[in-house]
Amino acid sequence: MAGNRTIITLECTTCKERNYSTTKNKKKTQDKLSRSKFCPRCRKHATHKETK
């Protein structure tokens, strides 16, 4: 990948399992990413936050 994009992992806030990985531009988006995604362990939609 070129430029300022880095790979990050998304962790479920309910069960703390790391389910998803995505990329983000660190220069434009400096705060932590938060998305509502489906968690297969919880079997429902839950908020997933960026982790290291």
Q: State how far the Cα of 5 lies from the Cα of 39, in Å rounded to an integer.
A: 25
CA-nearest of 11, 15, 1 to 43 is 15
Helix H or strand E segment including 28: none
Alpha-carbon gap, residue 52 to 37, rounded angstroms = 18
Decide: 38 and 8 in contact? Cβ < 8 Å: no
What superfamily does domain 5-51 belong to in CATH? Ribosomal protein L33 (2.20.28.120)
Q: What does pTM read for this prediction?
A: 0.84
Tens of pLDDT, residue by residue, the chain (52 residues): 468 899 999 999 999 999 999 999 989 999 999 999 999 999 999 999 999 7
